[in-house]
Chains A and B, each alone.
Chain A
Amino acid sequence: MATVIIPTPLRKFTQNASKLQVEAATVGEALQHLAAEYPDLKKHLLDEQGQIRSFLNLFVGEHDVRDLQWADTPLPADATLSIVPAIAGGISDWANVTFSKEELARYNRHIIIPEFGIEGQQKLKAARVLVIGSGGLGSPLLLYLAAAGVGTIGIVDFDRVDASNLQRQVLFGVDAVGQPKVDAARQRLEALNPHIRIVTYDALLNSRNALDIIRDYDVVADGTDNFPTRYLVNDACVLLGKPNVYASIFQFEGQVSVFNYRHPNGELGPNYRDLYPTPPPPGLVPSCAEGGVLGVLPGIIGSMQACEVIKVITGVGEPLSGRLFFFDALSFETRIFRVRRRADNPLTGEQPTITQLIDYEQFCGVKVVERPVREITVQELLQWQAEGRVFQLVDVREPHEYEAANIGAELIPLGTVSENAHRFSREAPVVVHCRSGVRSAKAIRELEERFGFDNLFNLKGGILAYLEEVKPELAG
């Protein structure tokens, strides 16, 4: 029988015994036996998944089981297993935070809430929050976090402000169109609150830079609009141990949750992969750019996301961990679903298989479907016309878009191309266009895959590029 040495603080759970004899083949088995025999001891040894607690060290003789085989470390009959509580602590990062007179005046309505107080405001000022995506969700999120006094706000976005953003991205005004989003966001936020620090990353978050960027922050707020980035942000947060405040929107629906949140009692909450183990088939769930979104919806959902970020930072209230909030603007119905940790989660399950970032485009199948289609530029199209070449021109936008402006093409909306496949020429080249080139590429892929067309060309940049070239006065 092996001997287990019980540390002083846990002896009150073993009737003051400092040494116990246990019949067990491995360290894990020994702990299970102890937990079964002394139920009050259990929560100090094992977490809710039955894993060895993080603030516990185990030594077989002089050797840390971390350097051996963890719970599977064999326990010979004459072995001594020492349970060693981790002794650690220190000063909170927020404790030395002070405020100027202006800041105290500014944050007064926070400070006078009894549950929030000066301590909550100190925590906000000491906090570093990374907001990924400064679009529809990012706009209210950034405005409220900056206004609330989050001391350091990082913003990741590679995009530039487009006129079609202004319907929902309230961070930007007309004068910002064409500017990099991170620059326009910085200007707006610094004007809103000069007492905070804004850090910008004018880059696309990817597997190469994600860990380095996220590492410097305490909380991540994911406001991105695509699955590869969502899985990337989730995995990076889990690997780095950062809470990930998640939200997403589509047309009239929104979702909010808090992932990878460690409760003060030590319990780790679920993450995105517990909710969605696998991504949807590529193309099934369109982005806002493809499917559209009610402009006010990201305002509602992004504000809720900001609320959860503030709760996670300050510890005020119960964050939305282990729960998914769902809002349908059409019926004005809200629901909250339970999210539980899955044993087969590849990051935090029983047998983790993901220990570093992977290729998320490939994981989400985006790469496979996005094979290139043949393209033609506006200049080439104009040259074809000048040369009098025979070709067919098809517009796959919706009828109301066609009515607003068209370049004399045949109208076959994207949703109807398959049933109208016979209207596409098999011999002459066919130039297909839409607004910017995304839908026409889809139409071409559909026709090529289902009907074997090999004479289709996508107009690069769509009607926008055409008008820019031919009638710049109409393009804006």
Chain B
Amino acid sequence: MIHFSPNVYERMLADARQTFPDECCGFLFGTETADGDRYLTDILVVDNAKEGDKRRRFEIAPQDYLAAERYADERGLTLLGVYHSHPNHPAIPSEHDRQAAQPFFSYVIVSVLDGYIGRVRSWRLNDDGQFEEEAIPPVPAKLVWPQ
């Protein structure tokens, strides 16, 4: 199971919405419990560094990756995964996603249909190099403090 804090979830969806029709991307941080549950408590939005068609591809610059590792280190968090959006397309990993996928990371895909958020699903490589879905329990509504 991969649990989103409301804040992280909101910021990820906002990025997906704003970047449409291009693909968005970023890093997800948090902690992993002994029985493998992941709790995402922080997020880093990064630029899609893909040269060319950003509507169908994303790429994160190595410098941004190094910065994300440092970010996790400084805050005592674990870099647990990467999110990206699939504009006008289901939240299922493609062959491109699978080829570049790293072990251990959760790959969260946000489907954006005509600018509106569709399904959000998370995938992780198993030992055979195939993606397996990991469940995302309902994210509690974000608390809004009265002004």
Known A-B contacts A9-B102, A12-B103, A85-B102; A91 and B86 likewise in contact (beta carbons under 8 Å): yes
Known A-B contacts A89-B97, A90-B23, A95-B94; A64 and B104 likewise in contact (beta carbons under 8 Å): no
A59, CB-defined interface residue at 8 Å: yes
* A77-94 interface with B by 8 A CB criterion: 82, 84-93
**Nearest residue in A to B72 (C-beta to C-beta)?**
A8
B16, CB-defined interface residue at 8 Å: no
CB distance from B21 to the nearest CB of A (A): 11
Number of A-B contacts (CB under 8 A): 97
Known A-B contacts A55-B99, A57-B62, A59-B66; A89 and B104 likewise in contact (beta carbons under 8 Å): no
Contact partners of B102 in chain A: CB under 8 A = 7, 9-10, 85, 87
Q: Is the CB of A87 within 8 A of B65?
A: yes
Q: Is the CB of A87 within 8 A of B60?
A: yes
Q: Is the CB of A88 within 8 A of B96?
A: yes
Q: Is the CB of B100 within 8 A of A87?
A: yes
A100, CB-defined interface residue at 8 Å: no
Q: Is the CB of B65 within 8 A of A264?
A: no
B110, CB-defined interface residue at 8 Å: no
Binds A, one of B3-11, B77-85, B114-122, B132-140: B77-85
B43, CB-defined interface residue at 8 Å: no
Q: How far is the CA of A96 from the CA of B56 in the complex (A)?
A: 11
A265, CB-defined interface residue at 8 Å: yes
Extra pairs beyond A87-B102, A89-B100, A92-B95 (9, CB < 8 Å):
A84-B62, A84-B66, A88-B50, A88-B59, A88-B100, A89-B97, A92-B96, A95-B90, A265-B129
Q: How far is the CA of A57 from the CA of B59 in the complex (A)?
A: 13
Contact partners of A292 in chain B: CB under 8 A = none
CB distance from B140 to the nearest CB of A (A): 27
B41, CB-defined interface residue at 8 Å: no
Known A-B contacts A96-B88, A264-B98; A88 and B69 likewise in contact (beta carbons under 8 Å): no
Q: Is the CB of A8 within 8 A of B56?
A: no
**Nearest residue in B to A55 (C-beta to C-beta)?**
B100
Residues of B in contact, count (CB < 8 Å): 40
Contact partners of A84 in chain B: CB under 8 A = 62, 65-66
Q: How far is the CA of A59 from the CA of B69 in the complex (A)?
A: 14
**Nearest residue in A to B79 (C-beta to C-beta)?**
A8
Q: Is the CB of B66 within 8 A of A87?
A: no
Q: Is the CB of A95 within 8 A of B104?
A: no
Q: How far is the CA of A7 from the CA of B27 in the complex (A)?
A: 13
A71, CB-defined interface residue at 8 Å: no
CB distance from A364 to the nearest CB of B (A): 36
Q: Is the CB of B78 within 8 A of A89?
A: no
B101, CB-defined interface residue at 8 Å: yes
Contact partners of A111 in chain B: CB under 8 A = none
Contact partners of B65 in chain A: CB under 8 A = 7, 57, 84-85, 87
Contact partners of A264 in chain B: CB under 8 A = 95, 98-99, 129
Contact of A89 among B79, B88, B107 (CB under 8 A): B107
**What are 25 A-to-B residue pairs whose CB atoms are below 8 Å?**
A8-B79, A8-B105, A9-B103, A10-B103, A55-B100, A57-B65, A84-B62, A85-B102, A87-B59, A87-B82, A88-B60, A88-B100, A89-B57, A89-B93, A90-B23, A90-B96, A90-B97, A91-B55, A91-B87, A92-B95, A92-B96, A96-B88, A264-B98, A264-B129, A265-B129
Q: Is the CB of A91 within 8 A of B56?
A: yes
B142, CB-defined interface residue at 8 Å: no
**Nearest residue in A to B49 (C-beta to C-beta)?**
A88
Contact partners of A265 in chain B: CB under 8 A = 129
Contact partners of A90 in chain B: CB under 8 A = 23, 50, 56-58, 84, 94, 96-97
* B3-56 interface with A by 8 A CB criterion: 23, 25, 50, 55-56
Q: How far is the CA of A18 from the CA of B70 in the complex (A)?
A: 11
A106, CB-defined interface residue at 8 Å: no
Q: How far is the CA of A95 from the CA of B50 in the complex (A)?
A: 20
A188, CB-defined interface residue at 8 Å: no
Q: Which 7 A-B pairs have the closest CB atoms?
A: A90-B57, A89-B97, A9-B102, A92-B94, A87-B60, A9-B104, A88-B59
Q: How far is the CA of A89 from the CA of B49 in the complex (A)?
A: 11
A266, CB-defined interface residue at 8 Å: yes
A5, CB-defined interface residue at 8 Å: yes
Contact of A95 among B55, B62, B80, B89 (CB under 8 A): B89
CB distance from B44 to the nearest CB of A (A): 12
Q: How far is the CA of A44 from the CA of B103 in the complex (A)?
A: 9
CB distance from A313 to the nearest CB of B (A): 12
Q: Is the CB of A64 within 8 A of B62?
A: yes
Interface string of A256-271 (1 = CB under 8 A from B): 0000000011100000
* A40-87 interface with B by 8 A CB criterion: 44, 55, 57, 59, 64, 82, 84-87
* A164-198 interface with B by 8 A CB criterion: none
Interface string of A225-247 (1 = CB under 8 A from B): 00000000000000000000000
CB distance from B46 to the nearest CB of A (A): 9
CB distance from A63 to the nearest CB of B (A): 11
